[in-house]
Amino acid sequence: MQGKIALEEHFAIEETLADSDVFFGGPALWDELKHRLLDMQERRLREMDANGIEMMLPSLNAPAVQAIHDPKQAVELARRANDFLADEVAKRPDRFRGLAALPMQDPDAAARELARCVRDLGFVGALVNGFSQIGDPDNATYYDLPQYRPFWAETADLGVPFYLHPRNPLAKHAPIYDGHPWLLGPTWAFGQETAVHALRLMASGLFDVHPSLQIVIGHMGEGLPYSMWRVDNRNAWMKLAPKYPAKRQLGDYFHENFYITTSGNFRTQTLIDAMLEIGADRIMFSSDWPFENIDHAANWFDDCSISEADRLKIGRGNAMRLFGLQA
């Protein structure tokens, strides 16, 4: 399929590059990943051209800003990363649109930076790498908390999507992974961490206050499409009311306030399951470059056994509508 739009695709600046040197063994693999992360205008565009991708929405690598304990430093780094991305987008506005990095350590500053990126830099949304560490490396702060309500109000007013991207849990909060480091990262921990954060947002009542808010999660929904029925059903014969502030079942918010992408999960059976749960109108193509190969994502998607109408929606149309992109 030609004309695909990819929106979980990452870059790094020098200050964040080392954050991605975690899951890759050996200098050869790291040298390749560094080249992929730092390149914006050469190989990235060649990969797009070779695989039918018309537009990419790059975002900063993880955890980057979210791992900076000092809120002032987080604000400064987010601004530098966003200014860098804006300069790169300006070189090829026909091929790139920006997703803002945000210093969620300071909700007011995050709201101001999002507004600056949307209004002044022309960005079309934000991508944030999970919880933020604030003031202490052992602190994990999630965005369902009350101090983030003004931030969410600004996001809703701006009318742009918020991509909730994974990061690993803090070691002190994840003894279940002790002795099993292979379970960290994309194997399992990324999805589990992001799914719980998404459920916290759903249960908090956030979408009752701001029903227009749209959250994007990757990797075919971080397992949520296959769990939402059980999340709401629980032990239904007991007829116990849920103990959370939200006014509706969580599945309602998943269907109305969330989109998912195919990033890093290139399996047709999984895609069809997701389509049956959340619908083809709420799924978007992505590859997860540079941590996954663009050709692996594109070749699978172009050949997977779905209708051409759904392929057009997922590959292009849904992203154009959600992010307000021009044809």
Indicate the burial class of 11 (C-beta count within 10 angstroms; 0-12, 13-18, 19 or more): buried
Residues 57-92: tens digit of each pLDDT: 999 999 999 999 999 999 999 999 999 999 999 999
According to DSSP, residue 40 is labeled: S
Of 176, 133, 161, residue with least CA distance to 5: 161
Strands (E), 99-165: 99-100, 125-128, 162-164
Of 276, 197, 256, 300, residue with least CA distance to 285: 300
Q: Are 274 and 220 in contact (CB under 8 A)?
A: yes
> Which token pair is 20?
């991605």
Q: Are 12 and 37 in contact (CB under 8 A)?
A: yes
Is the predicted pLDDT of residue 50 greater than 90, yes or no?
yes
Percentage of the residues of the chain whose pLDDT score is greater than 70: 98
Is the predicted pLDDT of residue 311 greater than 70, yes or no?
yes
CA distance 250 to 31: 43
CA distance 45 to 40: 7
pLDDT of residue 23: 62
- Those residues whose C-beta lies under 8 Å from the C-beta of residue 305, and which sit 6 or more positions away, are 268
Is the predicted pLDDT of residue 315 greater than 70, yes or no?
yes
CA angle, residues 39, 169, 254, in degrees to nearest 5: 85
Residues 133-168: tens digit of each pLDDT: 999 999 999 999 999 999 999 999 999 999 999 999
pTM over 0.95: yes
pLDDT of residue 24: 65
Say how many domains are in the chain. 1
CA distance 265 to 301: 10
CA distance 261 to 318: 10
pLDDT of residue 239: 87
pLDDT of residue 25: 65
Residue given tokens 């269907």 in the structure block = 255
Residues 252-279: tens digit of each pLDDT: 999 999 999 999 999 999 999 999 999 9
The CATH number of residue 262's host domain is 3.20.20.140
Residues 170-203: tens digit of each pLDDT: 999 999 999 999 999 999 999 999 999 999 999 9
Of 264, 196, 247, residue with least CA distance to 224: 196
> Which token pair is 205?
């009542």
Q: Are 75 and 114 in contact (CB under 8 A)?
A: no
Q: Which domain holds residue 286?
A: 4-323
User: What rounded mean pLDDT belongs to the chain?
Assistant: 96
CA distance 173 to 84: 34
pLDDT of residue 28: 83
pLDDT of residue 103: 98
Q: Residue 258 forms beta bridges with which residues?
A: 215
Q: Are 63 and 19 in contact (CB under 8 A)?
A: yes
| Model confidence band, residue 235 (pLDDT cutoffs 50, 70, 90) | confident
Q: Are 19 and 61 in contact (CB under 8 A)?
A: yes
According to DSSP, residue 175 is labeled: G
* Residues with active-site annotation: 288
